């Protein structure tokens, strides 16, 4: 398994280009199953999670071609079964359920298990499919969906922790080919949901309200092929903003949508960092004495759970006491014990991390447990004394395109050791 060595203490300066959004691209690629005609998706990042999704689509019978960020998918004839060995590598494989049910009125997809960031149920996805008239069964580890017909309905997708992103995507993708009107109440309003809705509308769907808590979908008999460019990855962008904050210097992000990063920009400014917002650009300058902050993760437009670990890394080296409460995935704190091995002073009280900033952390061998936790360890290592050895780097390759190269371009010293 590859590992990354981060040599701490090198200031970051310069420009970094933000890649296309992983969490937008995954459901958008799955949505191409909704039509027999070709779809062309651009700004698709080169990530292992994207590779898994393309393998699933190929397994389902789609013809997939890929060249430098552009993916062409033609799903003329499709199968409706995605077995365990092909979907187990990635939880987001559940987002083929909606398109398969919508187009073929049936789907069998291996049920995703939990993962290190916590229990990841799909009860809300099933609630939505059932509201449209599908019957669902869990059999031999698979979710089986079947519908004689799909009829529009009103469904509330609010769960204990708020709305569900992929659940909203899934129900939207099934409902576009249902008869009549579907209303999703308590829908997720993340920019990735809006991006998917825009793509579906280009394919001939009739969706209104994406980006609000109420999405209205007028079913149509069929969809056609379309072209679409995936939005920039707000979490990748946020991670580089935090890198700029943690290491001082002057870092400019290109091809970013600053409107998607409001909560993070507010938090960093509150801590004292200067952030300039341009047209498709963001620039952060270091601050000699940033102040601690209090954060709570929330559904969009609140502070994103996918930036919580990276902020833990930053605040661990910000003098004073910061507090972060995690309300979306209350157990998503695997990075804390690894940051503590590097000298961070963090105590956990239920779903809240109390972070006492230390002057300096020190490099250590650490274990990446999930995607954002591994990014946090790399960020902490940028400033720590000595060398941080991040193991199980495959987690980071799931969601960050060439993170070592991009940070090195900014002046970091990161080496990737091939296994």
Among 371, 384, 393, 396, binds ligand EPU (CB under 6 A): 371
Asked if residue 372 binds ligand EPU (CB under 6 A), the reply is yes
Closest C-alpha among 205, 197, 136, 143 to residue 165: 197
Nearer to ligand EPU, 47 or 73 (CB): 47
CA distance 129 to 242: 39
165 touches ligand EPU by CB under 6 A? yes
State yes or no: residue 113 binds ligand EPU (CB under 6 A): no
**Judged by CB, which is closer to ligand EPU: 318, or 369?**
369
Please state the closest distance from residue 335 (CB atom) to ligand EPU, in A.
12
Applying CB under 6 A, among 93, 142, 164, 317 the residue interacting with ligand EPU is 164
Q: What is the phi/psi pair of residue 115, to 5°?
A: -150, 175
Binding flag, residue 186, ligand EPU (CB under 6 A): no
185 binds ligand EPU (CB under 6 A): no
Catalytic residue among 39, 95, 115, 312: 115
Where is 348: in which H helix or E strand? strand 345-349
Helix/strand number for the chain, H first, E second: 14, 24
Minimum gap (Å) between residue 45 Cβ and ligand EPU: 12
Is the CB of 273 or the CB of 400 nearer to ligand EPU?
400
Q: How far is the CB of 234 from ligand EPU (least distance, A)?
A: 10
Distance CA 339, CA 337 (A): 6
Interface map 316-335 toward ligand EPU (x if CB under 6 A)? ------------xx------
Among 39, 122, 132, 210, which residue sits at the site for ligand EPU (rule: CB under 6 A)? 122
Nearest Cα residue to 16 out of 414, 410, 419: 410
Which of 51, 161, 281, 362 lies at the binding interface for ligand EPU (CB under 6 A)?
A: 161
Distances (CA, A) of 221 to 126, 171, 371: 22, 16, 39
Closest separation in Å from C-beta 48 to ligand EPU: 13
Active site residue 39: no
Close Cβ partners of 412 (under 8 Å, ≥ 6 residues apart): 6, 7, 10, 12, 243, 247, 382
The β-bridge partners of 389 are 5, 365
If phi over 0 gives left and psi between -120 and 50 gives alpha, with beta otherwise, what is residue 69?
Answer: left
Complex with ligand EPU: residue 252 or 324, whichever CB lies closer: 324
For position 101 contacting ligand EPU by CB under 6 A, the verdict is no
Based on the shown chain and the rule CB under 6 A, indicate whether residue 138 belongs to the binding site for ligand EPU: no
Residue 156 touches ligand EPU, criterion: CB under 6 A: no
Give me the 266-295 binding string for ligand EPU, x by CB under 6 A, dash otherwise.
------------------------------
Cβ atoms of residues 193 and 210 within 8 Å:
yes
Least separation in angstroms between CB 399 and ligand EPU? 6
CA distances from 130 to 106, 135, 149, 274 (A): 12, 6, 11, 49
SS3 286: coil
Compute the least distance from the CB of residue 125 to ligand EPU, in Å: 5
Q: Which residue has the tokens 């031999």?
A: 140
Of 18, 124, 275, 311, which lies in the binding site for ligand EPU, with binding defined by CB under 6 A?
Answer: 124
Nearer to ligand EPU, 24 or 318 (CB): 24
CB 387 within 8 A of CB 413: no
DSSP output for 76-138: SS---EE-HHHHTT-GGGGGGHHHHHHHHSEEEEEPP--BTTB----HHHHHHHHHTT-EEEE
Please say which residue, 23 or 198, places its beta carbon nearer to ligand EPU: 23
Could you tell me the maximum CA-CA distance found in the chain, to the nearest angstrom?
A: 64
Pick from 4, 12, 25, 26: which binds ligand EPU (CB under 6 A)?
26
Which residues of this chain interact with ligand EPU, rule CB under 6 A?
Answer: 23, 26, 92, 119-125, 159-161, 164-167, 188, 192, 305-306, 328-329, 371-372, 399
The catalytic site residues sit at 115
């Amino acid at each position: 398994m590859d590992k990354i060595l981060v040599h701490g203490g090198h200031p970051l300066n310069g420009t970094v280009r933000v890649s296309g959004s992983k969490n937008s691209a995954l459901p958008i690629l799955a949505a191409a199953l909704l039509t027999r005609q070709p779809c062309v998706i651009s700004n698709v990042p080169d990530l292992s999670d994207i590779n898994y999704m393309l393998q699933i689509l190929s397994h389902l019978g789609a013809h997939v071609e890929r060249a430098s960020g552009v993916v062409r998918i033609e799903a003329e004839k499709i199968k409706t079964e995605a077995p365990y060995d092909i979907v187990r590598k990635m939880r987001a494989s559940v987002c083929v359920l909606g398109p398969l049910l919508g187009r073929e009125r049936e789907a069998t997809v291996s049920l995703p298990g939990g993962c290190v960031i916590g229990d990841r149920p799909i009860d809300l996805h099933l609630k939505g499919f059932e509201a449209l008239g599908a019957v669902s069964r869990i059999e031999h580890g698979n979710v089986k969906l079947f519908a004689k017909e799909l009829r529009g309905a009103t469904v509330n997708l609010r769960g204990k922790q708020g709305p569900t992103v992929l659940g909203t995507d899934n129900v939207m993708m099934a409902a576009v080919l249902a008869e009549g009107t579907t209303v999703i109440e308590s829908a997720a309003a993340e920019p990735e949901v809006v991006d998917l809705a825009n793509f579906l509308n280009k394919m001939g769907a009739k969706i209104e309200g994406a980006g609000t808590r109420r999405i209205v979908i007028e079913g149509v008999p069929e969809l056609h092929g379309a072209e679409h460019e995936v939005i920039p990855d707000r979490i990748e962008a946020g991670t580089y903003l935090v890198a700029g904050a943690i290491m001082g210097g002057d870092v400019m992000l290109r091809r970013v949508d600053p409107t998607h990063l409001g909560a993070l920009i507010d938090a960093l400014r509150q801590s004292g960092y200067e952030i300039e917002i341009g047209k498709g650009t963001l620039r952060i300058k270091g601050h000699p004495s940033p102040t601690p902050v209090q954060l709570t993760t929330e559904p969009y437009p609140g502070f994103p759970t996918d930036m919580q670990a990276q902020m833990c890394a930053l605040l661990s080296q910000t003098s004073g006491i910061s507090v972060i409460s995690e309300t979306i995935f209350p157990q998503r704190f695997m990075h804390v014990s690894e940051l503590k091995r590097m000298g961070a002073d963090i105590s956990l009280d239920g779903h809240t991390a109390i972070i006492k900033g230390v002057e300096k952390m020190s490099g250590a061998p650490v274990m990446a447990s999930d995607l954002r936790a591994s990014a946090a360890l790399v960020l902490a290592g940028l400033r720590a004394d000595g060398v941080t050895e991040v193991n199980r780097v495959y987690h980071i390759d799931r969601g960050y395109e060439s993170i070592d190269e991009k940070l090195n371009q900014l002046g970091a010293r990161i080496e990737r050791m091939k296994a």
